[in-house]
Amino acid sequence: MGGGEAMTPAVRAQLAADVEYALRATTGVRNVYRSGSLISHLLRAGAAALGKRDEGSPVVTVVAGERGVVVEASLGVDFGAPAGVVLRAAYTTVDALLRAVGRPSESITLTVVYVQPREAA
């Protein structure tokens, strides 16, 4: 499938889940957090306060762009792993996954939002 094609909500949710799974399996990634702007987080918090829960919604953002899939994810990385190395590996993993399912990437935005300390011995 080429870029710019619409994705059904079910396809988008499955692709987001697949990307999340692949990211969590990447060496150095300790956690994947809900991506999005401060405004989107506030809107989710407001909806939750009104009783509208979205626990089933994907943690990773995946949408169809004009030239391919747009992915956004926020990562927690291991304290002992160089963030640049982890980000390159995670980017390569996501790009390979999208190519394998016939959906080229338009952009992949990965942000380190938390550096997780070493486990207590």
Q: Point out the least confidently predicted range of 15-19, 32-36, 79-83, 111-115.
A: 32-36
HEC per residue, 35-69 = CCCHHHHHHHHHHHHCCCCCCCCCCCEEEECCCCE
Gap between the terminal Cα atoms of the chain: 48
Rounded to the nearest 10°, the torsion over CA 47, 64, 14, 39 is -20
Total-model pTM: 0.78
Q: Point out the least confidently predicted range of 1-10, 73-82, 87-96, 100-109.
A: 1-10
For position 36, what pLDDT does the model report? 62
For position 55, what pLDDT does the model report? 55
Give the HSE-up count for residue 74: Cα atoms under 13 Å, Cβ half-sphere: 11
Q: Tell me the backbone φ, ψ of residue 75, rounded to 5 degrees.
A: -120, 150
- 9 neighbors 63 (Cβ within 8 angstroms): no
pLDDT tens-place string over residues 19-72: 999 999 999 999 998 876 544 444 444 444 445 545 566 788 898 889 999 999
What residue ranges define each of the domains in the chain, with the CATH number in brackets? 9-116 (3.30.70.1350)
DSSP SS3 for 31: strand
State the average pLDDT for the chain.
81
For position 72, what pLDDT does the model report? 92
